[in-house]
Amino acid sequence: MALARAREALDAGDFALGRALAEEAVRTADASMKPSRAEARRVLALALLYDDRVEDAQRLADEAIRIARAAGSIKQTALAELALAEVLRTKGDYVLGLKHASRARKLAEREGDPITSTVVLSDYATLLGRLGDDERAREVFDHLVGDGSEDQGAAPLEELPRKEALRVLYNATMTHRAAGRFDLALRILARADALTGGKRTWPIVYARALTLLDMGAYEEVRALLEQTRDEDLRGGWQRAQMITLRANLAMHTGARTEVVEALVTEGLAIEGLTPPLKFGLQRVHAHCLLQKGQYQEAERVGITLMAGAAKGGTRVQAAHSLAIAARGGVSDAWLLRWLGAVACSSGGGAARIEHEALSGLVTEPEPIGQLARNIQATCRARILAHTPPEYRKTMLRTLRLVEQRTAALRLTRREETEAVVTDEIAKVKDEVGIAGGSPAIMRAVSTTARAAKSNANLVLTGETGSGKELFARLAHRLSPGSRNPFVAVNCAAIPQPLLEAELFGHERGAFTGAERSRRGLFVEAEGGTLFLDEVGEMSAAMQAKLLRVLEDGEIRAVGGVKSRKVNVRVVAATHRDLAQMVAERTFREDLYYRLAAITVRIPALRERAEDLPAIARAILAREPATKNHRLDVPGLAVLAEHAWPGNVRELSNVLRVAAAMAEGTVIGRPAMMTALDSSISARGRAKAPTEAGPNLRETTLAALRARHRNEVRELVGRAIASADGNKLKAARSLGVSRQGLYRVLES
């Protein structure tokens, strides 16, 4: 039957097959009006839940309950109520989920079927553990796996089908492990071994490996994994669990980051991964980022994990940690994200995660530090008290290692984020035009300044208009090659066929119009810095050529036969998520790692609202036409009311228009509101499809003149590019004198 095969497929982790078979079972049951209609919907609801289709799963679980009640089947009603409880837990509605689980428990007791009662009670206790109610979960599991199971109407484990009995033991082990009761977890695993006569089953091996991993018994974990053959694993689900264990073991035993990341990549490539498995692998990836010092990238991964974990984990921990982490300038943000996200993943109290999180807080100023030390001591004692005597020394060594490593990482992170910017760095910062002194911008300046001292390539990420080129200039000015040229190029503004010639140069006759040889930007930037803006827009062919240059340090001009050594530091920038592009295979992974030796994220303007007055003053002072203008208090208030999706670039345009609209040199609220409305309207027109020609209506004369200047500059730039850099030839093609062309360029 399709229904029985669907259940087997879900148990084996083949969720795609299980969903297809469950859908077939629903169609068959509906066509014949069989009693299995409710059960088929329940199984399909669980299959859809694995596929993260929560709303559809809830609809089917509700239908299953309604059909089972109409048929008078207490057993199917109880199981459907339990399925709905799991769906609601995944959605984050824990109170209602627990209500339906309790209802399922009462129905199972009324039914009087020991097997049904055992299944329901096991899942009910697991749900209690995930909600953090460890004591009640322990009570239920004690009844199920101990001598008192008959008091709950459940069957003794020996009377259950082996699959159901092992499921109960697995759930009990994972719940006790999350709560830090490792002695009980190992005792239950021994019971599972006795039940199977020593025959290895993957779920029990997996639970044992996780428990030993938590206690720091790494050699036992390694031996356990080495004894497991690939043919013992059923489907991609169990293979992903194996890879996750190997990645965690490698990370804890000090393996090279590249080895751990290779395992993570292999695991994520498996099709049909459930959200918890993806979470586990991505969490290891984020730890690798922390080890490499890429804290900001790790924090972004943490936020993503947090968003997913908050749906189906411990909601209180997740919501509180996310709310605190979202506040700007909170030094503990990264730690709080880990606390919430990992607790959500592990379920229950997550004793080891709680201990690790507290280890990162003991270095904080009083009273937080003292409070964290007191709670940590209690947490450590509780974990050791529930660790079997033969593993106690190993556990104590593991806990102390975690405390030392986490506290050291926390101190290093605080030193970096709170680094004092020297007078020299501050002076260069002002000279290149970076305004503001918020914690967000000063962290970016401090990180860029440290990165500038090395010759490693640098990637600047951030939204369009956030000032990435200014940070590239800052990195150049603070680098050992500051006396050499800084050359910038926008990779998105140059047609891809011409970008190679622009970067590497070309020989005479290399292509139509190449009347003479021309050296490329790599040569022009010799000894200095080449800034590649919008590097994410490069074609695949150009990415391959850039990678070769970064690996070999040699370039070859288009049409040339000889290679030339170059010594250039590359600073790249993009508003896109290069890591996501790598995952989607639209950006080369090897090029990404070559470019992103160091990554600095430039904060968006809305993340540093306290900098708005300083940035506005700097913009007004920079332009000759507005250098005498200033914003009054109501005008400054308008700045704080807008989200600035276009960042500094949008703010600059708005201030130019506002200055032109102001009566006199004081820019007030009316002028700012008019300029802001113009900016919002222009953005709306840019997003809307244009059916007729371009809209020539301009808000102000100043805006019209600015647009004209930009169009002239673009026209001149295209003419010079077509003339292969020959300005006299470009001037003739435009119908102006050479002096006229220079006047345009100077303006």
CB 468 within 8 A of CB 488: no
The highest-level CATH class for domain 606-693 is: mainly alpha
What integer is the mean pLDDT of 121-142? 77
User: Looking at the domain that runs over 423-599, which CATH code has it been given?
Assistant: 3.40.50.300
Write the CB contacts of 352 (distance below 8 Å, at least 6 apart in sequence).
180, 214, 346, 383
Token output for 511 = 């292509």
Mean pLDDT of 587-616: 85
From 308-312, 448-452, 496-500, 585-589, the region with the lowest mean pLDDT: 308-312
Mean pLDDT of the chain: 77
Would the pLDDT of 720 be above 70? no
Provide the 8-state DSSP code for 554.
E
State phi, psi for 534 to the nearest 5 degrees.
Answer: 55, 50
Instruction: Give burial (CB, 10 Å; 0-12/13-18/19+) of 211.
Output: buried
What pLDDT does residue 693 have? 40
CATH for 2-217? 1.25.40.10
Mean pLDDT of 727-744: 69
Q: What does DSSP assign to residue 326?
A: T
Residue 653 has pLDDT above 70, yes or no: yes
Q: Which range among 93-102, 105-114, 413-422, 552-561 shows the weakest confidence by mean pLDDT?
A: 413-422
- CB–CB of 568/553 below 8 Å? no
Cβ–Cβ < 8 Å for 2, 24: yes
Q: CA-to-CA distance for 724 and 718, rounded, in angstroms? A: 10
Q: How many CA atoms lie within 13 A of 328 on its CB side?
A: 15
Neighbours of 374 (CB within 10 A): 12
pLDDT bin (cut points 50, 70, 90) of residue 714 is: low
- At residue 681 the predicted structure's pLDDT band, cuts being 50, 70 and 90, is confident
Classify 614 in phi/psi space as left (phi over 0), alpha (psi -120 to 50) or beta: alpha
Residue 442 has pLDDT above 80, yes or no: yes
The predicted model gives 145-164 an average pLDDT of 63
pLDDT digit string, tens, across residues 19-41: 888 888 888 888 776 668 888 89
In terms of phi and psi (left: phi > 0; alpha: psi -120 to 50; beta: otherwise), the region of 411 is alpha
Picking from 349, 347, 369, the residue whose alpha carbon sits closest to that of residue 358 is 369
pLDDT at residue number 105 = 85
pLDDT at 312: 47
- Pick 157 or 417 by higher pLDDT: 157
pLDDT band at residue 469 under the 50/70/90 scheme: very high
pLDDT at 300 over 80: no
**pLDDT over 90 at 475, yes or no:** yes
CA distance 459 to 570: 9
CB under 8 A, 24+ apart: contacts of 616-625: 616/651, 616/655, 617/435, 618/433, 618/435, 619/435, 619/648, 619/651, 619/652, 619/655, 620/655, 620/659, 622/433, 623/656, 623/659, 625/656, 625/659, 625/702
The pLDDT of residue 472: 94
Which position has the higher pLDDT, 711 or 16? 16
pLDDT of residue 13: 64
Cβ contact 468:602 at 8 Å: yes
Q: What is the mean pLDDT of residues 415-436?
A: 77
Which one, of 529, 504, 500, 508, lies nearest residue 519 by Cα? Answer: 504
**Band of the pLDDT at 696, cuts 50, 70, 90?**
very low
pLDDT tens-digit readout, 90-102: 776 767 888 888 8
Are 613 and 639 in contact, with CB atoms under 8 Å apart?
A: yes
Beta strands in 638-735 (DSSP E): 666-667
Q: What is the pLDDT of residue 305?
A: 61
pLDDT at 286: 77
pLDDT band of 364, cuts 50, 70, 90: low
Per-residue model confidence (pLDDT) at position 147:
46
Q: Work out the average pLDDT over 210-218.
A: 87
- Give, rounded to a whole angstrom, the gap between the first and last alpha carbons of the chain: 79
Give percent of the chain above pLDDT 90. Answer: 12
Q: What is the percentage of the chain residues whose pLDDT exceeds 70?
A: 74
Task: Check residues 411 and 598 and name the one with the higher pLDDT.
Answer: 598
Nearest to 476 by CA among 546, 569, 566: 569
Strands 630-631 and 666-667, bridge-based pairing: parallel
pLDDT tens string 40-72: 898 898 888 877 788 899 999 999 999 989 888
399 pLDDT higher than 60: yes
Is residue 327 pLDDT above 60, yes or no? no
pLDDT of residue 408: 61
Task: Judge whether residue 345 has pLDDT over 60.
Answer: no
Whether residue 241 contacts residue 277, with contact meaning beta carbons closer than 8 Å, is answered with yes
Per-residue burial over 381-416, b = 16 or more CB atoms within 10 Å of its CB, e = otherwise: ebbbebbeeebbebbeebbeebbeebeebbeebeee
The structural domains of the chain, with segments of one domain joined by +, span: 2-217, 275-417, 423-599, 606-693, 700-747
How distant, in Å, are the alpha carbons of 261, 469, 551, 626 from that of 486? 34, 11, 21, 28
- The pLDDT value given to residue 347: 40
Q: In the prediction, which pLDDT does 501 show? A: 86
Q: What is the mean pLDDT of residues 386-411?
A: 74
Distance CA 92, CA 88 (A): 6
pLDDT confidence of residue 565 = 92
